[in-house]
Structure formats: C-alpha cells, structure tokens
C-alpha cells in the first residue's frame, strides 16, 4: 500500500495521467490525497472530475477556492471570469453529478499523521479546531439549501478569527483561511491581495506557517494553493507546500509518504501547458 499527497491539478488531466503511470498507481491498494483546486484555469476540468470521482475511496480530494468558485458558478451565484475554463464542464451531460460529487469533498483531512488543507491554518487554531470548523463548512455545503449558503459565503470580511463569531461570518473566515490564506498577522488577520512567495510580504504580515505562536506548530501540515512558494522542495516550519504550478507550466508534485511521521519522497511530472498566473 502506498500513500500520496498531490498538489493542485486545476484541470490538468494529462499530467495527472502521466503521474499515475509514473507511480504505477493501483486503486485497489494505493490512496491519493489531493490538496484541492481540482478544477479551473487548466484545459480539462471535466476529465479530472470524471477520473477522480470514478476512483472512489482511492482518491481523497480536498476542496479549494477554485472548486468553490466552480460550485458558485454552477449554482448561479458567481460570475465566470475571463480566465475561467469551466465551460466544457458546465455543458457536460454529467455536470450535475460531477459537481454534486465535488460539493461533498472535505475541507480538511487528518490522516497518517498529517493535517491536510488547501491553503492554510490560522495561528489560533489547533489541529482539532481546524477539523471541527471544516466539519461545520462541510455540513453547510452538503445541506439541501447549500445554494443560499454559497450565495452568502464569498467575501473578504471579517478578516480575523474570533471564537465569538457565529453564522455566515464565522464560516466565511473559516473558509477563507482553509482555501485562500497566504499571509496573516500573529493575531490572525488575513491579507488576500499579495500572491508572491514571501519576500514581498505586506508590513506586519508573515507567511501563515511562519507565525511563531501558531497553535498547530507541532502538527505536520500539507497544503497547496501557493505556487509562488519554493513549493515541494522542503518543509516550511513543519508544513509541506505541494502546489508547484502545474497549470502555469511548472510541475505536478506528489509526496509519497514514508513509514515514519513526516517522511516523504517527492515525485514530479513536468507540465506542458503554460498559463499566466492570475
């Protein structure tokens, strides 16, 4: 049995096919953990969702910000942008089935000693708190009235977590941290504009994993979302970044987990397409 953590796909099915061939993937014995952003910006989101949904329990997939955006467009509460590549998926005869599957993906996973999220974890959150908030979001996304939840979910406010937050404000902060976080302050105030790798951090902000008082510091965390980091190369403060910019002409990266906690071996597949980040 082999276990793999895999970075952002963003609709890149052909590199995924090559990666599965490279690792000699067997759905009967191996498990793949995808760290979110399965769709959008790349050329074949439809093929990605068809492939992953057909793998059953062998493919455990987180939801990322692009996946949430796709759900919002599907439900008519979000407008497509010029850089979206969702038209083929939305026009497919099995679109409803595939996006129903997508909205039932988890927001965080705890497995084999790793906490897995798409983007990040706020400094005030322990691993247990992160998983509890993820479960709240999953319950809302899977409810019959999920369209109303999606319609109110998107936005940048509030920017900071407080335990007293309730309702949509609580869930918006939680989902922004789990799917969009890059920089924050030691008090957990998030910044959503800067997308560089860290040298251009806004004054008073750090990369979320560098906050010295972070409550999850002792927990190995794998995440995607941030292709401009030196991702996949080393552990950053007990975190492993695995978005290596496949959709931008970089690599699709998998971390094969070792026998000991925190051990991994990297496998990378060069991607051919070269989009412009945005």
Note the pLDDT tens digit of each residue in 76-104: 999 999 999 999 999 999 999 999 999 99
Instruction: Write out pLDDT tens, residues 237-269.
Output: 899 999 999 999 999 999 999 877 678 999 999
Query: In this structure, is residue 100 part of a structural domain?
Result: yes
Query: In this structure, is residue 32 part of a structural domain?
Result: yes
Query: In this structure, is residue 68 part of a structural domain?
Result: yes
Query: In this structure, is residue 277 part of a structural domain?
Result: no
18 lies in which domain range?
A: 3-270
What percentage of the chain has pLDDT greater than the value 70?
96
Instruction: Write out pLDDT tens, residues 218-230.
Output: 999 999 999 988 6
- How many domains, the chain? 1
Do residues 239 and 225 make contact, with C-beta atoms less than 8 angstroms apart?
no
Do residues 127 and 18 make contact, with C-beta atoms less than 8 angstroms apart?
no
Which band of pLDDT confidence, cut at 50, 70 and 90, is reported for residue 278?
very low
Question: What CATH code is carried by the domain that includes residue 123?
Answer: 3.60.21.10
Query: In this structure, is residue 208 part of a structural domain?
Result: yes
Query: In this structure, is residue 224 part of a structural domain?
Result: yes
Query: In this structure, is residue 229 part of a structural domain?
Result: yes
Alpha carbons 112 and 224: distance in angstroms, whole number: 18
Query: In this structure, is residue 275 part of a structural domain?
Result: no
- Average pLDDT score over residue span 38-56: 98
Alpha carbons 142 and 155: distance in angstroms, whole number: 20
- Which tokens belong to 114? 């790793």
- Which tokens belong to 201? 């951090």
Q: Where are the alpha helices (DSSP H) in 142-166?
A: 146-153
Q: Record the pTM.
A: 0.95
């Amino acid at each position: 049995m082999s276990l793999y953590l895999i970075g952002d796909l963003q609709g890149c099915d052909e590199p995924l096919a090559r990666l599965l061939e490279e690792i000699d993937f067997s759905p009967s014995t191996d498990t793949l953990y995808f760290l979110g952003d399965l769709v959008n910006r790349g050329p074949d989101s439809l093929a990605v969702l068809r492939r992953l949904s057909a793998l059953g329990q062998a493919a455990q997939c987180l939801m990322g910000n692009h996946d949430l955006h796709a759900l919002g467009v599907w439900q008519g509460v979000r407008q497509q942008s010029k850089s979206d590549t969702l038209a083929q998926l939305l026009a497919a005869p099995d679109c409803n089935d595939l996006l129903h599957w997508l909205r039932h993906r988890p927001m965080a996973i705890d497995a084999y000693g790793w906490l897995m999220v798409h983007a990040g974890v706020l400094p005030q959150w322990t691993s247990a708190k992160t998983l509890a908030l993820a479960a709240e979001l999953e319950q809302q996304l899977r409810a019959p009235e999920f369209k109303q939840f999606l319609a109110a979910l998107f936005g940048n406010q509030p920017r900071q977590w407080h335990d007293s937050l309730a309702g949509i404000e609580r869930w918006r902060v939680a989902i922004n941290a789990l799917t969009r976080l890059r920089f924050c302050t030691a008090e957990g105030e998030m910044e959503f504009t800067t997308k560089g790798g860290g040298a251009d951090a806004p004054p008073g902000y750090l990369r979320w994993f560098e906050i010295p008082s972070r409550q999850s510091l002792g927990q190995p965390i794998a995440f995607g979302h941030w292709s401009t980091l030196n991702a996949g190369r080393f552990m950053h403060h007990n975190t492993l970044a695995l978005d290596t910019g496949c959709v931008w002409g970089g690599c699709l990266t998998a971390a094969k987990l070792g026998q000991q906690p925190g051990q991994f071996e990297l496998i990378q597949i060069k991607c051919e397409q070269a989009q412009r980040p945005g």
